[in-house]
Amino acid sequence: MKEIKVVIMGGGGVGKSALTVQFVRNVFVSTYDPTIEDTYRKPVIIDGQQYLVEILDTAGTEQFMALKELYMKSGQGFILVFSLTQLGSVNELGPLREQIVRVKNAKVPLVLVGNKSDLRAERQVPREIGTNMSRAWGNVPYYETSARKRINVDEVFADIVRQCRAFEMLNGSSSGGKHKEGRRDRKKCVIM
Q: Which CATH code fits 2-184?
A: 3.40.50.300
Per-residue pLDDT tens, the chain, 192 aa: give them. 899 999 999 998 999 999 999 999 999 987 766 555 689 999 999 999 999 999 999 876 554 555 667 778 889 999 999 999 999 999 999 999 998 999 998 889 999 999 999 999 999 999 999 999 999 999 999 999 999 999 999 999 999 999 999 999 988 744 333 333 333 444 455 554
How far apart CA 53 and CA 41 sit, in angstroms, is 6
Helices (H) and strands (E) in the chain, counts: 6, 8
Of 146, 157, 153, 145, residue with least CA distance to 41? 157
The residue type of 19 is: L
Domain boundaries defined on the chain: 2-184
Check residue 29 and give its pLDDT.
83
For residues 29-57, b (16+ Cβ closer than 10 Å) or e, as one string?
beeeeebeeeebeeebebeeeebebbbbb
